[in-house]
Structure 1
Amino acid sequence: MLQNCDARIYHRLLTIPGGKPVRYQAGDVICFQGRESCGVVVVSGADIKVQYISAAGRKYTIVQEDNYSGVLGEMELFSETSNHMLSVIAVNPVTGYQLSRAVMRDALVKMPDLALDFMTLMSNRYHSTVTQAMVNILYGLRFNALQRLVAQADAAGGEVFVISQEVEAERLGTSSRAYRRILKNLLDDGIVQRAGDGFRIANPEQARAELQI
């Protein structure tokens, strides 16, 4: 769903001439961390995940968004090296409209209101990315895993929720084996309980006490 400056930017960019249609299949990398940016890609209804890859090759999924409409690759527009800071991967087939750095810069010079929206967007994205990265760094795996489980339980209204252990491990930048070990500990401690093919928070008070929320 489009909101705030993302919506304004999305609709304005589609009117800028000089772009080209692009299509990505599931698993394709739209923006490749460390590689030179070709510009921005405007997408609608895209299922994507944003990843950071450490020097050791470990993948941290910063966020995974379903039905995202907006701009990808905006952080590199004014970078001296123009290399992507993060990777963006298509979860399902994605179609978009690509605008080169030169075309985008020219448009921002000619449309100050669009430039202001872009600055707001970049600031919000930077804050979100750094916040998530700091959480992964400062807190242990058990804390981060439990925090995500509680959030998913809340989203399910306290009812049973289903997770992919592989996806959760990827989001937390750890191995599936390490994640399964943490999940087993939470099950053994009675904080989390299996419920058919899903899970539920069996002891919400203990879970929130551990998270201090």
Structure 2
Amino acid sequence: MQGPFKVQQEPYPLGRFHAELSRLAPKFSQALQACSLFDRRYLPGEFIMRQGEQSEHLYLVATGRVSLSSAVHSGRLFQLGEIACQRQIFGEMEFFSATPVQWNVVAQTELDASVICAHKLAQRLLAAPELTLFFAAALASDYLDTLDITTSRLLHPIAYNIAYELWRERQRTPMLGSRKRAHEAARFGTTERVYRRALKELIDQGIVQDGEDGPQIADVTRLRHYLAL
């Protein structure tokens, strides 16, 4: 499964090309600015990108929360979760592949997005191909991250994946829960009833507690033992 890759304007802290990306960061920022058509404000619930549509734009969101989801004709929804944006760029996969939008990107808070012209950006990258390093490094990092999540979802039961995600969020938190139980169930590709049963299993073992903002780690030692880390 291909993930909703999310390039950051700022260089990732790790990676083979970090020093070079840091040097090029001002040039990359200037290129994005030059290709920006306008800024648009989105209200909670508004689509920034809609699954299945063609897009000739990329979107740079400085701050705010967005959700990512995919739906099928039956109405079943896979809710990947939410991102607390830190100058995140959306639409880069569609930009490079020239294919329809794969994931719905929806504003969860009021936010401003810089709308970037894909044609102008393509011309910039052809003139300064070293700037494609920003996309290559970020896509590689996010691909591995998404593949890790997907593999775990395929190989382990839902309770394990709930616990594993809490552990991942403890290490770093680019992807957040939706704070809505029904959306959380959709994020694990299951029903709300099955999700509640899996969550109760973790709570009964003293691994997880149910907080105001969703599941939280109750005991790190038990969590690591449960995950065999």
CA distance in 2, matches of 1:62, 1:44: 20
Kindly indicate whether the alpha-carbon contact (under 8 Å) linking 1:41 and 1:98 is maintained by their aligned counterparts in 2: yes
Match of 2:39 in 1: 21
Deviation per CA, 1:132-189: give whole Å up to 9, x if none: 223222221111112234456788xxxxxxx653443243233322221212222334
Given the alignment of the two structures, is residue 191 of structure 1 paired with residue 217 of structure 2, yes or no?
Answer: no
- 1:198 Cα deviation from its structure 2 partner: 7.4
Match of 2:175 in 1: none
Deviation per CA, 1:193-213: give whole Å up to 9, x if none: 567997665554443222111
| Unpaired runs of at least 5, structure 2 | 1-7, 13-20, 173-178
Given the alignment of the two structures, is residue 40 of structure 1 paired with residue 62 of structure 2, yes or no?
Answer: no
- 1:73 Cα deviation from its structure 2 partner: 0.5
CA distance in 1, matches of 2:201, 2:122: 51
Q: 1:181 aligns with which of 191, 197, 218?
A: 197
TM-score by length of 1: 0.76
- 1:17 Cα deviation from its structure 2 partner: 4.4
Match of 2:5 in 1: none
Which letter maps to 1:178? V
Given the alignment of the two structures, is residue 119 of structure 1 paired with residue 150 of structure 2, yes or no?
Answer: no
User: How many residue pairs were aligned?
Assistant: 205
CA distance in 2, matches of 1:41, 1:139: 35
- 1:109 Cα deviation from its structure 2 partner: 1.0
| Unpaired runs of at least 5, structure 1 | 156-162
Which letter maps to 2:116? L
Deviation per CA, 1:53-85: give whole Å up to 9, x if none: 3575443333522142131101111214x2112
Kindly indicate whether the alpha-carbon contact (under 8 Å) linking 1:32 and 1:88 is maintained by their aligned counterparts in 2: yes
Match of 1:71 in 2: 89
1:76-115 equivalent positions in 2, closer than 5 A: 76-80=94-98, 82-115=99-132
- 1:52 Cα deviation from its structure 2 partner: 3.5
- RMSD of aligned C-alpha atoms? 3.3
Greater CA deviation, 28-37 or 2-11? 2-11
Match of 1:140 in 2: 157
